Amino acid sequence: MRGSQIRIAAAQPACTSGDLGGNGRAHAEAVQAAESRVVVFPELSLTGYELDADPVRCDDPALTPLVDACTAAGSVALAGAVVAEGEHRFIAMLAVDSTGVRVVYRKTWLGGREPQRFRAGDGPTVLELDGWRLGLGICKDTGAAQHIAGTAALRVDAYLAGLVHRPEELPEQEARAVVIARTCQSFVVFAGFAGPTGDVYTETAGCSAIWSPSGLAIARTGPEVGGIARATLI
C-alpha cells in the first residue's frame, strides 16, 4: 500500500552545455527551492540535449552539491544525463539522494539521431519510494503505446518523465500526459526543458506540469528557465 501522500516537483533549471559543475549547482538550487520529496528534471538536464556529450559518472565530484542538497532537503532528485556502460551509451535518468547517485532508468524509445549514438533501455520500470510506485520515462517514451501499457501493467501510482520539447509541441505534450494518466490511472509529472539546448532545440517549451489520474492538470509552470511546478499527491 502506498504512503498517504508525497510531495513531487517538476523543475526546469538553467543548463549550460559542457558545464556539469554549473548544472549540478543549478539542480541543487532547484532542489532547495522545490521543498519536495521528489524533484523531477528534464531529459539530459545535467548535460543539455547534446548527443555527443561526455558521459556522466555517478561518482563525479561535480554532482556533490546536488547530493548535499538532496541530503539537506530529504529529497530524491531524478536528473537526466548521458551515461556509459561498457561500450554502450544511454540517455538515462539518475536518482540522487543522501546515499549518492545511481542510474534508475534508461530511455527505451529513441528518436531523431539518437539511435545512431545510444542504445535503447530495457523498458518500463518502477522506482519504489515511501510506499509509492513511480513509473519512469524519458521524452519519446511518453508517446509510445507499448511503453505506456507496460508501465500501466506495473500498477504505478505516478508516472514521472523528463522531456525536451519545442514550443509548438506543447499540445502533444498535454495529450500524452492525459493518455498516460487515464491508462495508468495514476498521477503524471512531466519536467520540460527550458531555454536553448543542442540539436534542433534552439527554443524549448518548458511548461512543466502535474496531472491527476483523471487527466486534470493540478500544477503548472510557464516556459521560463527556473520554473517549478509542485503538488502534494494523495
Q: pLDDT (tens digit, 9 = 90+) per residue, 98-110?
A: 999 999 999 999 9
Average pLDDT, integer, range 187-192: 99
Give the pLDDT confidence score for residue 116 in this predicted structure.
96
Give the pLDDT confidence score for residue 1 in this predicted structure.
55
In angstroms, the CA 163 to CA 161 distance is 6
Query: How does residue 3 score in pLDDT terms, banded at 50, 70 and 90?
Result: low
Average pLDDT, integer, range 19-41: 98
Nearest-5° Cα angle at 125, 211 to 142: 45
- Report which secondary-structure segment, H or E, holds 79: strand 76-85
Query: What share of the chain has pLDDT > 90, as a percent?
Result: 97
Average pLDDT, integer, range 64-93: 98
Query: How does residue 4 score in pLDDT terms, banded at 50, 70 and 90?
Result: confident
